[in-house]
Amino acid sequence: MLLLANDYFLMWEKSRIIGQKMDLYILPQRLKKEGQRLALAVEKIMQIPAKDAEITSFEFKKYRDYENRDSLKSIDWKKSAKTSKLTVREDYPEREPQNVLIFWGENGENFEHSLAIFNSMYEVLDPTDFQQVFLVGEKSYVGKHIDKKWLAELEAFTQMPKLELLSKVRERNVYLFSVGTSANLNRAAQFLRQHNEIIYLNLKSPELLLITSRYFSRQVYLEDYNEN
């Protein structure tokens, strides 16, 4: 950045160059159509309402009659008007998301393409529907949301990652994304299947899934969700 300064009579002028550090990331290509198709498949399985739908942040278990110990704030006045008696609605906080999303970044010619589709899908989905997101690569990343820095730095792995990375994933619906099958993917799926339900998101032909089908609760092939 170049800053210029001078006096009132323009007798002198000073200049100064100020450098500013910026983080620049090269992100995966955006593949809008493929991302939307795969997101549609995931949303159908998860039965996620449309984003513009009215969604409550509580689950209602039941209604009951008002008791002296209840707060006036807990009274459902509309329900009370219909029943002609004070009625309380018992609210339960929104449950923690039961879904985990995993990108399986194994080395191969389609690694960059598969990462682009995965990220395009993630941009369509609501990130709050996932408890955790894993990007498994040469160096793996874990968090509640995907950081752009992760996408820029992620490299495909050539040696099987340590499965301890996934050991805390229990009693979850695991959405496992991969460009195709492999012996390493089999091992990871078998490991996760001990305590979770596995939904396999695959980019290739369903015929390639035969060797791993016993590990998955459900398999999604991208071409099953092509545009009509």
Q: Kindly write down the DSSP assignment for every residue of 57-114, as one continuous string.
A: SEEEEEEEE--TTS-GGGB-HHHHHHHTS-EEEEEEEPPPP-EEEEEE-B-STTHHHH
Eight-state DSSP code of residue 157 = B
Q: By C-alpha distance, which of 106, 96, 117, 113 is closest to 201?
A: 117
Q: Residues 178, 191: one domain?
A: yes
Given a cut of 50, the residues of the chain with pLDDT beneath it are: 48-60, 205-212, 224-228
Residues 76 and 175 in one domain: no
Closest CA to 108 of 177, 180, 213: 180
pLDDT one-digit tens code per residue, 27-72: 788 888 888 888 887 887 776 443 333 334 444 456 788 888 888 8
109 in the same domain as 219: yes
> pTM of this prediction?
0.66
9 occurs within a structural domain: no
Distance in angstroms (rounded) separating the CA atoms of residues 158 and 152: 18
Pairing mode of beta strands 197-202, 173-178: parallel
**Confidence (pLDDT) at 219:** 62
- Number of structural domains, the chain? 2
The reply to whether 127 and 206 lie within a common domain is yes
How many residues are present in the chain? 228
In this structure, the number of other CB atoms found within 10 A of the CB of residue 202 comes to: 25
Mean of pLDDT over the chain: 77
Q: Based on the domain organization, do 176 and 71 belong to the same domain?
A: no
Regarding whether 178 and 68 lie in a shared domain, the answer is no
Range of the domain at 171: 32-50+96-225
